[in-house]
Amino acid sequence: MKQTLIDDAPIEQSKKHWELYCDGHDFRSSMPEYLAKNYWWAYLSPAGVRFFDHPFMVNCILWGQYHKIAADTVKLLSTESDYSLAEISCAYGEIIPKIGEGSNAKEIHLFDIAPIQLDQARKKITANNTQEKFHMFEANAEKIPLADNAVDTSLLFFLLHELPVAVRENVLQETLRITKPNGRIIIADYAPKTKSHWFHRLKFFRNIFETLEPFLGYFWRMDLNTELDKYAAITHKTVEQKSAKFYWHKFYRLLEFRVGK
Ligand SMILES: C[S@@+](CC[C@H](N)C(=O)[O-])C[C@H]1O[C@@H](n2cnc3c(N)ncnc32)[C@H](O)[C@@H]1O
* Residue partners of 210: CB distance under 8 A and separation at least 6: 216, 217
Which of the four pLDDT bands, split at 50, 70 and 90, describes residue 26?
A: very low
Query: 84 or 6, which is more confident?
Result: 84
Nearest-atom index, ligand 1, CA of 117 = 27
Give residue 43 CA to ligand 1 midpoint distance, Å.
8
pLDDT at position 7: 47
Query: Domains plus CATH for the chain?
Result: 17-48 (no CATH), 64-260 (3.40.50.150)
- HSE-CB at 92 with a 13 A cutoff on CA atoms is 19
Provide the pLDDT confidence category of residue 18 given band limits of 50, 70 and 90: confident
Q: SS3 of 105, please? A: strand
Q: Is the pLDDT assigned to residue 143 strictly greater than 60? A: yes
Q: What is the average pLDDT across 71-95?
A: 98
- pLDDT value for 209: 83
Q: How far is the CA of 86 from the centre of ligand 1 (A)?
A: 14
Question: Taking a C-beta distance cutoff of 8 angstroms, is the pair 109, 140 a contact?
Answer: no
**Which of 22, 28, 35, 56 gets mutated to test ligand 1 (max ligand atoms within 8 A of its CB)?**
35
What is the structure's pLDDT at 183? 98
Mean pLDDT for 247-254 is 96
Residue 25 pLDDT more than 50? Answer: no
Q: Which of 50, 113, 178 to mutate to test the pocket of ligand 1 (most atoms within 8 A of CB)?
A: 113
Ligand 1 pocket: which residues have CB below 6 Å? 32, 35, 43, 58, 89-93, 112-114, 117, 140-142, 157-159, 162
What mean pLDDT do residues 58-82 have? 97
Which of 81-95, 147-161, 189-203 comes out lowest in average pLDDT? 189-203
Report whether 210 contacts 217 (CB < 8 A). yes
Task: Report the chain's mean pLDDT, rounded to a whole number.
Answer: 92
Q: What share of the chain has pLDDT > 90, as a percent?
A: 80
Distance separating alpha carbons of residues 84 and 14, to the nearest angstrom: 46
Cα(254) to centroid of ligand 1, in Å?
17
Atom of ligand 1 nearest to the CA of 34: 16
Alpha carbon of residue 32 to chain centroid: 13
pLDDT attached to residue 13: 60
First to last CA, the chain: 82
Max CA distance (Å), the chain: 86
Give the model's pLDDT for residue 172.
98
Has residue 122 got a pLDDT over 70? yes
Contacts of 52 (CB under 8 A, 6+ apart): 42, 58, 61, 92
- Write the pLDDT tens digit of every residue in 190-236: 999 988 888 888 888 888 888 889 999 999 999 999 999 999 999 99
The residue with greater pLDDT, 2 or 87, is 87
> How much distance in Å is there from the Cα of 175 to the middle of ligand 1?
14
- 12 pLDDT exceeds 60? no
Task: State mean pLDDT over 144-163.
Answer: 98
Q: How far is CA 105 from CA 67, 84, 91, 228, 240, in A?
A: 20, 6, 18, 24, 22
For ligand 1, atom 15: residue with the closest CA:
35
**5 falls in which pLDDT band (50, 70, 90)?**
very low
Which atom of ligand 1 approaches the CA of 157 most closely?
Answer: 1
Closest C-alpha to ligand 1, atom 2: 159
- Give the pLDDT confidence score for residue 9 in this predicted structure: 47
* pLDDT value of position 20: 77
